[in-house]
């Protein structure tokens, strides 16, 4: 037998073996993708978006129930507890709520959330003064200066925080034309310049305050959230700004027997500032109250085989807007109940594959992130405090809202998904997703949000981006925005479960490639640093 004949015969044995292996892998993918079903997705989401879970709010009872629920699923699937024998990675959060215990002027009490709200960082303190300085539009310009020869250091000041003085023809006194000056075009300029004068307290008014207050008043007690920082100063005496209705300021001006309308008219007629001192006693007790919170990320590890030191992260945030003091619940069925369910479903499918002898080569770290709605805080905390070295984390998949049909597709093709990040960091991401879709699913892959000129900039606005900032290739699966986004109407009956599950199947096949390919994804596209 010739050497060529031997080679030919050996190829006859090798080719069927390779084909058989490929066929077996293909069959396994299809089989275990089938573990992700509409029935199970609906079961989990109906629970997580139920009134019992109260919108899964950060620092709320509904949030505590949510993390327990996710951890219970991870335990049932047999995932490893990677955080010192626990599924929970407590995220060090600080909740700041601005509290107003008292606010009165000339003996008249004004109500926080009805007459005014406050933008401030100061710690709780008392204010007790005998006079208030009215400074017109608060503009300090060479051609028009409301603060000329006025010292407001340590004083309470009131000003009109919109527009600028105009003459009878409607021309700006500052520009001399019908074009507004930078004092109006810039939202912050007059406040920034005023702060340099070191007033004790600022009261600002505009025509929009009265209409905007009802919309935000219920949320004032919800507070702001951030990651806790070491060595944060205990005292903060920064100047607070009271955003007051025009009616409230008119009540203040009563002591001078005038109104905002009269003041504006006088300035327009004289083309000169009209600033003055009001002899009225102001008493207030207000400031930030801070509370430490430790809402956890929920982590479960499915260990890989020959490449188990390399990690692929599959995650989505579990939190939403919770319940307001008035009892209003934001169920967050789509945002991000669907993403949380997807993490559970994918963990179940990959765990079933491993139990059947088709486990991943790379390890998969499933994460349900805390406090995404508060500023991507849970994922930020993880990448700064990783349980597994980031240099071993080779890819990240983020699932955030995959259960609805967005406005763009409402009258057209519903068989779609937005895949965001395919043109970032790794040139292998796009062909990987396209192949998984072509071979197994058949969705329209909408890349509109990958356009660098897209104004939404969604690539930078969900949890995957904290991984991308560390140079880790990341994909974000998303079904788009809809009219019920961040409203109490984001409910389970509006979810398109067949499409939700089809999108989960695409994520499963994409992840299967990531965890089983011979080589990890290349990183060959420079990070743009979040700049278009």
> In this structure, what CATH number is given to the domain that contains residue 402?
3.40.630.10
Domain that holds residue 474: 79-91+294-516
Q: What pLDDT does residue 13 have? A: 52
Euclidean distance between CA atoms 41 and 62, whole angstroms: 20
Please check whether residues 392 and 264 belong to one and the same domain.
no
Q: Which residue has the tokens 């801070």?
A: 290
Please check whether residues 212 and 342 belong to one and the same domain.
no
Please check whether residues 85 and 106 belong to one and the same domain.
no
Please check whether residues 281 and 305 belong to one and the same domain.
no
Before 336, cis peptide (omega within 30)?
A: yes
Q: Which residue has the tokens 């929920």?
A: 298
Euclidean distance between CA atoms 323 and 343, whole angstroms: 24
pLDDT tens digits, one per residue of 68-116: 999 999 999 999 999 999 999 999 999 988 999 999 999 999 999 999 9
* CATH number for position 121: 3.50.30
Q: What pLDDT does residue 407 have? A: 92
Please check whether residues 273 and 340 belong to one and the same domain.
no
- Residues of the chain with confidence (pLDDT) below 70: 1-24, 231-234, 529-532
- CA dist 100 → 110, 117, 119, 241, 242 (Å): 10, 9, 12, 13, 11
Residue 278 placed within a domain: yes
Residue 116 placed within a domain: yes
Please check whether residues 449 and 488 belong to one and the same domain.
yes
Please check whether residues 281 and 304 belong to one and the same domain.
no
Please check whether residues 312 and 250 belong to one and the same domain.
no
Please check whether residues 224 and 202 belong to one and the same domain.
yes
Please check whether residues 143 and 171 belong to one and the same domain.
yes
Contact 448, 387 (CB under 8 A): no
- CA dist 188 → 54, 191, 385 (Å): 37, 5, 36
Name the region of 418 (left: φ>0; alpha: ψ -120 to 50; beta: rest). Answer: beta
Chain center to CA of 57: 13
Number of separate domains in the chain:
2
Task: Choose among 227, 206, 250, 237: nearest CA to 117.
Answer: 206
Task: Choose among 503, 350, 512: nearest CA to 441.
Answer: 503
Residue 47 placed within a domain: no
Backbone angles phi, psi at 309, to 5 degrees: -75, -20
Q: What pLDDT does residue 19 have? A: 42
């Amino acid at each position: 037998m010739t050497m060529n004949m031997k080679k030919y015969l050996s190829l006859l044995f090798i080719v069927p073996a390779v084909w058989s292996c490929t066929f077996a892998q293909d069959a396994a993918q299809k089989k275990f993708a089938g573990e992700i079903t509409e029935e199970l997705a609906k079961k989990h989401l109906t629970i997580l978006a139920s009134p019992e879970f109260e919108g899964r709010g950060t620092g709320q009872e509904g949030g505590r129930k949510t993390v327990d629920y996710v951890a219970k699923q991870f335990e049932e699937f047999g995932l490893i507890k990677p955080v010192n024998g626990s599924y929970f990675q407590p995220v060090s959060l600080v909740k700041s709520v601005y509290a107003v215990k008292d606010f009165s002027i000339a003996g008249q009490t004004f109500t926080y959330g009805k007459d005014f709200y406050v933008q401030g960082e100061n710690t709780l303190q008392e204010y007790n003064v005998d006079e208030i300085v009215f400074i017109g539009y608060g503009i300090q310009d060479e051609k028009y200066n409301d603060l000329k020869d006025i010292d407001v250091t340590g004083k309470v000041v009131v000003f009109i925080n919109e527009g600028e003085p105009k003459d009878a023809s409607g021309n700006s006194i500052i520009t001399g034309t019908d074009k507004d000056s930078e004092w109006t075009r810039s939202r912050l300029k007059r406040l920034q310049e005023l702060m340099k004068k070191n007033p004790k307290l600022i009261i600002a008014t505009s025509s929009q305050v009265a209409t905007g207050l009802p919309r935000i008043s219920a949320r004032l007690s919800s507070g702001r959230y951030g990651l806790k920082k070491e060595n944060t100063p205990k005292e903060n005496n920064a100047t607070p700004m009271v955003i007051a209705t025009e009616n409230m300021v008119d009540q203040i001006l009563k002591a001078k027997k005038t109104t905002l309308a009269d003041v504006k008219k006088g300035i327009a007629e004289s083309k000169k500032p009209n600033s003055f001192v009001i002899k009225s006693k102001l008493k207030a007790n207000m400031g930030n109250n801070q509370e430490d919170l430790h809402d956890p990320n929920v982590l479960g590890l499915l260990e890989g085989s020959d490449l188990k030191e390399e990690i692929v992260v599959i995650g989505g945030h579990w939190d939403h807007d919770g319940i307001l003091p008035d009892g209003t619940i934001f169920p967050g069925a789509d945002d991000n109940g669907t993403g949380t369910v997807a993490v559970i479903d994918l963990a179940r499918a990959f765990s079933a594959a491993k139990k059947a002898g088709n486990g991943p080569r790379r390890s998969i770290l499933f994460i349900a992130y805390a406090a995404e709605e508060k500023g991507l805080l849970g994922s930020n905390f993880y990448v700064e405090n990783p349980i597994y070295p980031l240099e071993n984390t080779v890819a990240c998949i983020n699932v955030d809202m995959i259960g609805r049909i967005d406005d763009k597709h409402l009258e057209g093709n519903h068989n779609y998904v937005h895949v965001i990040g395919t043109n970032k960091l790794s040139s292998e991401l796009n062909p990987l997703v396209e192949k998984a879709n072509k071979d197994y699913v058949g969705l329209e892959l909408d890349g509109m949000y990958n356009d660098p000129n897209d104004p939404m900039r969604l690539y930078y606005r969900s949890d995957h981006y904290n991984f991308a900032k560390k140079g880790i290739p990341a994909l974000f699966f998303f079904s788009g925005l809809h009219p019920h986004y961040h409203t109490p109407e984001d409910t389970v009956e509006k979810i398109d479960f067949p499409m939700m599950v089809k999108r989960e199947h695409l994520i499963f096949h994409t992840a299967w490639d990531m965890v089983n390919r011979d080589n990890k994804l290349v990183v060959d596209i420079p990070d743009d640093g979040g700049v278009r």
